[in-house]
Amino acid sequence: MNGKATRLSLVSFSSVPMRVFHLTWMAFFVCFFAWFAVAPLMPVIRDQLHLTKDQIANINIAAVFVTILVRLVIGPMCDRFGARRTYTWLLALGAVPVIGIAFAQTYETFLFFRLCIGAIGASFVVTQYHTSIMFAPNIVGTANATAAGWGNAGGGATQALMPLILMVMVSLGVEQALGWRMAMFVPGVLMLVMAVIYYRYADDTPEGKITGSAARGDKPSGRASFMAAARDYKVWLLFVTYAACFGVELTIHNLAAIYYVDRFGLDLKTAGLYVGSFGLLALFARALGGLISDRIAHSRGLDGRTMLLFAFILAEGLGLMAFATRDSASAALVAMLIFGLFTHMACGATYSLVPFINRNALGGVAGIVGAGGNVGAVAAGFLMKGVATTQQGLFVLGVTVMITAFLAVAVRFTGEHKADERKLYREALAARNGAGADAIGVKANA
């Protein structure tokens, strides 16, 4: 158990696992706020830079493409250097293009900075890695999903707040063409502040800070972690299923504001609030997905977790098809919130499975599966370029998601694997209930 927490005590900051829990979701929130800060301002930016439909599609693809590569690398980096230093560097370096995009004057420079900003989307992998090593099997799904959900809410908050920040600047006499540029300094500065806080107050493991794998002989090298994960077919099945849920989430964040403006004639502020409500579902929906997964695991083990993921993704696909066929803004909003609920819960259920795939290559597994979400978003971006209307593209995407759901059922574990995890689960419950805690070395209220 090595000091892992068996409870998720949300009001506690004293123990290492809970302090890291709060720091990592806050860092994730700031990163997602910055990652999507441009999206709700795109109607204004489109007019100023005279962007075409294809150019906007390229920008949306760029926003998620580079994240694929960085997520593949950053998971093994956590295994090699520890999550604290990895997150600190990601926050500090990621702030540069966030601020830099404010100076873009052409489509080419805007596209370049948007591509670079995509790297901070890898923050999700660090968050999931960090919470996975801090919490015991009985609660790790809930912890992962809650941290990811609260952090993901940054994507929803930026949809609502960035237009408001722009409006405040315009009300102060700043030209709109300059106002959106000034607004981009807000998330950039927040990232720099968070980098300092994370380095100062976070710990790598429940046992404290580490200086890399050289200080911990049980930690694999980055390459070994990646290769061990890449050889497991279950990792690639989850790669695809995560593309079907988180990829859809990213797609909605990038195009929904323009979709509501163009299809239903909403103003920028209202469209931002609509899309923001989708993102803010993550405040509870991801956590709910992880919580249900942990509860099902109590009676049905790992197989129960996979069947739950199947059900969530299937419902998501049906809801997305309904969203694409609505004829009014209010009906579209209701449909978006329904399918968004299942989308977020599917994301939470996916990363409730990740810690159990290969404990010795957790960073590699988290990185590859996380990259799947961005592959899904890139694929959806190309889909949107190839169809006549966004509405048509969303419907096709919904059908694809439904088909993908069946891959979750194909994620199978050996009898030995399930028995080992069941033993660890029972040990975690015993520690939580105070039975045998001294023998296991865990405080029940950690």
Report the residue count for the chain.
Answer: 446
Residues of the chain with pLDDT > 90: what percent?
Answer: 36
Taken in order 429, 434, 440, 446, the sign of the CA dihedral is positive
What does the block give as tokens for 211? 């200086």
What Cα–Cα distance (Å) separates residue 240 from each residue in 229, 316, 380? Answer: 15, 15, 13
CA–CA separation, 202 and 207 (whole Å)? 12
Task: Give the per-residue pLDDT at 440.
Answer: 37
Q: What is the pLDDT of residues 367-404, one digit of tens each?
A: 899 889 889 988 988 888 888 788 899 999 999 999 99
Distance of alpha carbon 112 from alpha carbon 117, whole angstroms = 9
Separation of alpha carbons 51 and 354, rounded Å: 40
Three-class DSSP category at 121 = helix
What's the pLDDT tens digit per position in 142-160?
A: 888 889 888 888 877 887 8
Helix (H, G, I), strand (E, B) or coil at 188: helix
Nearby residues of 96 by Cβ (< 8 Å), 6 or more positions away: 116, 188
Phi, psi angle pair for 135, to nearest 5°: -125, 145
Q: What's the confidence (pLDDT) of residue 88?
A: 95
State residue 217's pLDDT score: 46
Helix (H), strand (E) at residue 231: none
CA 225/CA 245 separation, integer angstroms: 25
| Cα atoms in the 13 Å half-sphere on the side-chain side of 61 | 14
Token couple for 363: 């960073």
Q: In this structure, are residues 58 and 112 in contact, taking their beta carbons and an 8 Å threshold? A: no
CB half-sphere exposure, 71, CA atoms < 13 A:
25
All structural domains of the chain: 16-212+219-433 (1.20.1250.20)
Residue at token pair 């509870």:
284
Q: Six-digit token pair at 47?
A: 């007019």
Q: Please check whether residue 194 is in contact with residue 75, taking contact to mean a CB–CB distance below 8 angstroms.
A: no
pLDDT in tens, the chain (446 residues): 577 888 888 887 788 999 999 999 999 999 999 998 988 888 888 888 888 888 888 887 887 788 888 988 888 888 888 899 999 999 999 999 999 999 999 999 999 999 999 899 899 889 989 998 898 888 888 888 889 888 888 877 887 889 899 999 889 888 888 889 999 999 999 999 999 999 999 998 888 776 544 434 455 556 787 888 889 999 999 999 999 998 998 888 878 888 888 888 888 778 888 888 887 888 788 889 988 998 898 888 888 999 999 999 999 999 999 999 998 989 999 999 999 999 999 998 998 888 888 878 888 888 899 889 889 988 988 888 888 788 899 999 999 999 999 999 999 888 888 888 788 777 777 777 764 443 334 333 33
pLDDT for position 214: 40
With beta carbons less than 8 A apart as the criterion, state whether 93 and 109 touch. no
**Helix extents (H) in 325-414:** 329-353, 362-386, 390-409
**Beta-bridge partners for 135:** 5
Tokens describing residue 351:
């990363």
pLDDT of residue 191: 97
Q: Helix, strand or coil for residue 11?
A: coil
In angstroms, what CA-CA distances link 7 with 50, 295, 313? 52, 14, 28
**pLDDT value of position 212:** 47
